């Protein structure tokens, strides 16, 4: 069976760059294409999950949506790594802060990802797997945030399978030094590890769970550009 196009990505092999910067919201991917890419060409609209390839400072790069949650990003990043020859995926997304010193607009660079997901069960590992980012990407992202003068922290995030939950237990994760809550990092990190490739998650704090400070959907879509500046600087 021909591997590309896949059931979820309509591109032919070679239409997607080796580095892909992804966002949960496909409209955020469209915004990145318009803001950061020269001569972007759309390669995907299957299920409305927009993807574009262009260049940034002369280097080929693709941007694409990945949807919400571990199952969704798990499908898209698996296909990118295993069927399209992608080597590096950087997710830029939003997260809820559970750290007293992380406010709306600050960046979280996810060095590791705790989770309540069962995604790792497929590998039948004889223990608990710790999904982590590529160290070089993580180090360079921190250096870039410093250079730009953006407020940021590097550390663990908690990636939840549920947005609306009966018992969040955020205080328990906070007590273990976890910085923020998001919903995708472990699947990306595990897919990267299993395929021998690289991955990093950079999030903007969209709300502070401790204080109730929050942003609108429009703000999340259009104004969280600091994390994108950092991501594109890693090319």
Residues forming the active site: 207
How far the first Cα of the chain sits from its last, in Å, is 33
Helix (H) or strand (E) holding 146, with range, is helix 135-148
DSSP state of 77: H
Q: Is the dihedral of CA 226, 193, 7, 117 positive or negative?
A: negative
Identify the H or E element spanning 132.
none
Cβ neighbours around 112 below 10 Å, total: 18
Cα 130 from Cα 109, distance rounded (Å): 16
**How far apart, in Å, are the Cα atoms of 98 and each of 10, 24, 109, 117, 169?**
38, 21, 14, 19, 11
Q: Are 84 and 4 in contact (CB under 8 A)?
A: yes
How many angstroms separate the CA atoms of 78 and 6, rounded? 11
């Amino acid at each position: 069976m021909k591997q590309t196009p896949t059931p979820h990505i309509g591109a032919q092999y070679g239409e997607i760059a080796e580095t892909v910067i992804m966002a949960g919201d496909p409209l955020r991917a469209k915004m990145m294409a318009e803001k950061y890419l020269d001569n972007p060409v759309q390669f995907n609209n299957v299920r409305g999950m927009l993807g574009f390839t262009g260049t940034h400072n002369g280097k080929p790069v693709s941007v694409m949506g990945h949807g919400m949650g571990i199952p969704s990003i798990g499908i898209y990043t698996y296909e990118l790594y295993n069927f399209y020859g992608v080597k590096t995926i950087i997710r830029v997304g939003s997260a809820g802060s559970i750290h007293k010193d992380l406010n709306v607009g600050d960046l979280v660079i996810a060095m590791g990802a705790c989770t309540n997901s069962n995604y790792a069960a497929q590998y039948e590992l004889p223990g608990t797997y710790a999904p982590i980012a590529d160290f070089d990407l993580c180090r360079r992202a921190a250096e870039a945030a410093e250079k730009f003068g953006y407020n940021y922290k590097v550390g663990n995030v908690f990636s939840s399978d549920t947005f609306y939950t009966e018992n969040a237990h955020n205080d328990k994760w906070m007590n273990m030094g976890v910085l923020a809550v998001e919903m995708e990092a472990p699947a990306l990190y595990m897919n990267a590890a299993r395929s021998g490739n690289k991955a990093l998650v950079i999030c903007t704090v969209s709300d502070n769970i401790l204080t109730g400070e929050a942003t609108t959907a429009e703000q999340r879509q259009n104004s969280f550009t600091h994390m994108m500046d950092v991501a594109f600087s890693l090319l």
